[in-house]
Amino acid sequence: MATHTSTARLALTRRPRRLRRTEAIRSLVRETRLTPDCFILPLFVCEGRGVRREVSSMPGVFQLSVDEAVKEAAAAKADGVPGVLLFGLPDSKDATGSKASDPDAPVQSAVRAMKREIRDLIVITDVCLCEYTSHGHCGILEGEEILNDVTVAHVADAALSHAVAGADFVAPSDMMDGRVAAIRTLLDERGLDRTGIMSYAAKYCSAFYGPFRDAADSAPQFGDRRSHQMDPANVEEALREVETDIEEGADIIMVKPALHYLDVISRVKRQFNQPTAAYHVSGEYAMLKLAVAKGWIDERRGMLETLTAIKRAGADIIITYYARDAARALHEKPRA
Ligand code: PBG
């Protein structure tokens, strides 16, 4: 006969549930606070005017011409997102990705327009050749090999053109050796010492960039990126990469992707205690979007839990396609 009624009492000194009783108490003892001021929204900027083309594998993400990208950045700023990360989609590509440093290409034009029209917006530019090369590789090829030092010279030129346009930070994502030092030296020679460097320091060779390559039309035409992006199995190597980039002059270091590399974010933040960014990449976004579309996961909760986890791991800055949605969700009253 069950006689365990409301009179049952355990003699406990610790009752963790006391701190979970109401939303006010939960909020009082919350360890990680997700706020929109750590979000950066990536934008894909293409040629033309009035272009707003949705990326099929990334619902809610668009290829935008400069005028539309400026509108999107302004709307993001109004939502409370402090900055954007720009990717360029040129009309024409060649073997050396020469459009990467063209002052009139989409990224450089968008930087000028955004800095002119949107007050206090932080404008960061992705620096890599893969969106600009006809073969889709991140560098200059000799046969099927990516030449490191020649590529670095091109990457530094691209970064310089972004800095001249007025970017607050340039973000090299190519993973060539020595690019941070080369960029810092070139910028300083040109008097651009105020332009910062956010380096993709620990960028893994990940399957989760798939939808991005759709968006940027940058899938390599042969081979893969294993000769420069990191092996997903390594973490000590990530620490060496980060240390190298800090020594070379990186102001902010990044771990990418985010969700499958929370341990890496955590170790990088603890070991170096530098401003640390994490990139919640296209595939991570697409997986959640797809499950949401199927009705399997609640979008608001899934999104905020994901971003909270990235912050809890140690990221100060989160680059995410969800930046605007999350900023708006965080402005709503919490549900009790
Ligand atoms: C360019 C670059 C990539 C991403 C950011 N910068 C693609 C790649 O390395 O293939 C991926 C971003 C994402 O998946 O959201 N090198």
What CATH number has the domain bearing residue 207? Answer: 3.20.20.70
Tell me if 1 is assigned to some domain. no
Q: Whose CA is nearest to atom 14 of ligand 1?
A: 209
- 10-54 tens-digit pLDDT: 999 999 999 999 999 999 999 999 999 999 999 999 999 999 999
pTM over 0.85: yes
Tell me if 28 is assigned to some domain. no
Q: How far is the CA of 202 from the centre of ligand 1 (A)?
A: 12
Q: How far is the CA of 7 from the centre of ligand 1 (A)?
A: 60
Q: Whose CA is nearest to atom 11 of ligand 1?
A: 209
Sheet strands (E) in the chain: 39-46, 52-54, 62-65, 83-89, 122-127, 140-142, 145-147, 169-172, 196-203, 252-256, 276-280, 317-320
How far apart (Å, rounded) are the C-alpha atoms in residues 129 and 148? Answer: 12
Helices (H) and strands (E) in the chain, counts: 11, 12
Q: How far is the CA of 73 from the centre of ligand 1 (A)?
A: 20
Tell me if 294 is assigned to some domain. yes
Tell me if 17 is assigned to some domain. no
Atom from ligand 1 closest to the CA of residue 229:
9
Average pLDDT over the chain, rounded to an integer:
96
What band does 3 get if pLDDT is binned at 50, 70 and 90?
low
In this prediction, residue 214 carries a pLDDT of 85
In this prediction, residue 5 carries a pLDDT of 72
Number of domains in the chain: 1
Q: Is the pLDDT of residue 186 over 60?
A: yes
Which residue from 65, 175, 41, 154 is spatially nearest to 102, judged by alpha carbons? 154
> For residues 36 and 78, is the Cβ–Cβ distance under 8 A?
no
- 324: tokens are 């605007």
Residue among 126, 205, 209, 227 to mutate when testing ligand 1 (max atoms within 8 A of CB): 209
Q: Cis peptide leading into 257, omega within 30 of 0?
A: yes
In this prediction, residue 78 carries a pLDDT of 98
What band does 333 get if pLDDT is binned at 50, 70 and 90?
low
Tell me if 16 is assigned to some domain. no
Tell me if 4 is assigned to some domain. no
What band does 7 get if pLDDT is binned at 50, 70 and 90?
confident
Tell me if 84 is assigned to some domain. yes
> Catalytic residue positions?
203, 256
Atom from ligand 1 closest to the CA of residue 285:
15
Any residues with Cβ below 6 Å from ligand 1, and which? 126, 128, 130, 138, 173, 209, 212-213, 225, 281-282
Q: How far is the CA of 190 from the centre of ligand 1 (A)?
A: 28
What band does 267 get if pLDDT is binned at 50, 70 and 90?
very high
Tell me if 223 is assigned to some domain. yes
- 276-290 tens-digit pLDDT: 999 999 999 999 999
Domain holding 64, by residue range, is: 33-331
Q: Whose CA is nearest to atom 10 of ligand 1?
A: 209
